[in-house]
Structure 1
Amino acid sequence: MCAHIVRMAEYNEWMNARLYEAAATLPEDEILADKGAFFGSLYGTLNHILLGDVIWLKRFATMADYPALDPVRAMPQPAGFDQRSGSFSELRALRASLDGIIRAWAGEIDEAELPRMLEHKSVAGLPFAREFGGSLMHFFNHQTHHRGQATTLLSQAGIDMGPTDLVMLVPNVAQA
């Protein structure tokens, strides 16, 4: 399972780099324009993914002393999932930094921690106790789900992301 977590962190970083590179080809006003998507704009969607990651990483930082999460511990707690994180270029830089943190943290996770309970509060303050491993799968699935929305917005703007499947990072060992 830990190898899968590391692969998901690598996939997250790979897809985000490609997604932001593609988005950067658009004018800033197009990135910010409300397109009727769930989070309004491409920026809103990318911002939501980032805020969700920070919120979940702050929760995960309570599970164990993960040194890779020290920078996240120092970040302010987002007030919600739609708080604005600055300009697109600032969001892009924060995303790249956070993806490096996620990749490093994935390598610190011990399989024995996965069945432990993660106690946390929702953004609305409701208490939860959930399995760490299941919460971690949600963390990666949440990113993938909303990146799908972002790639749709890019497609509507005429930008083809090309392959986006996780299998692109699974080594192909077939003999040619």
Structure 2
Amino acid sequence: MHAPVAALPAHLAAMARNNAWSNARLYRACLMLSDEAFAGRRVSFFPSLQLTLNHILLVDRYYYDALVNGGEGLAIFASDVPYPRCADLWPAQRALDRALTGWCDALDDAALQRDVLIDRGPEVGVQRETVGTVLPHLFVHQIHHRGQAHAMLAGTDVAPPQLDEFFLLADAPARARDLAAPD
């Protein structure tokens, strides 16, 4: 039996759930590190898991703020590391993942065409996008940096988790176990 192909709003809602699921798996592994190992220097675009995961959260907040017309804009980036400890960062990421998933669950075709104004600073100004272009960008950004965090974990005593089991029907049992597990 084949699953029906989802319309774009349903697909983006599924991407939001996949995003939250992947973050939960990655954070479960990172929470096993000491604070020192979490902040320790590693080889990647951002030189630590701490900086990489804080960056993901900040960029998520930035785009979510734009999507919901929150008004914070670039002020979100006032600190590069608002959460130095993984134990403090995870609840903030989880809360944002839940908010984003709920927001995406309410999308319809018309909402995907709605304008999103993104403050890019004085040199660029305000960029006009649509919900339908911002969400895929946000998800690709997450995937990109989670891959870097995954590689950095490989250099620790904690095994990097599998992050690509979500959409296939055969993945449903593992996904259901993970989604049922407490955070």
TM-score range, shorter chain: 0.7 to 0.9
**TM-score relative to the length of structure 2:** 0.79
Deviations 1:76-113 (A, max 9, x none): 94135x62112321111111111111111111222112
* Pair 1:145-2:144 in alignment: yes
Give 2:80's match in structure 1, choosing from 69, 79, 83. Answer: 83
Q: Percent identity?
A: 29
Per-residue deviation, 1:155 = 1.1
Decide whether the 8 Å contact of 1:79 with 1:123 is kept in 2: no
Which residue matches 1:128?
Answer: 127
Residue aligned with 1:79, SS: helix
Corresponding residue to 1:94 among 88, 92, 96: 92
Residue equivalent to 1:161: 160
Q: Which residue type is aligned with residue 98 of structure 1?
A: L
**1:5 and 2:12 equivalent?**
yes
Cα offsets for 1:116-173 (capped at 9, x unmatched): 33222115662211232111110111111100000000012143334311x5333239
Q: Which residue of 2 aligns with 1:29?
A: 36
Q: 2-side partners of 1:124 and 1:102: how far apart? A: 28
Task: Tell whether the 8 Å contact from 2:74 to 2:120 is kept in structure 1 after alignment.
Answer: no
SS state of the match for residue 18, structure 2?
helix
Kindly provide the amino acid, as one letter, of the partner of residue 55 in structure 2.
H
Q: Unaligned 5+ residue runs, structure 1?
A: 63-71
Q: CA RMSD in A?
A: 2.4
Q: Given residue 97 of structure 2, which amino acid in structure 1 is its aligned partner?
A: D
Tell me the equivalent position of 1:67: none
Q: Would you identify which runs of 4 or more consecutive aligned residues in structure 1 move more than 3 Å? A: 72-77
Check whether the contact 1:18–1:161 (CA below 8 A) recurs between aligned residues.
no
Structure 2 Cα separation of the partners of residues 159 and 75 of structure 1: 35
| Code of the aligned partner of 2:59 | G
Equivalent residue of 1:34, what SS?
coil
Q: Which runs of 5+ in 2 are unaligned?
A: 1-7, 172-183
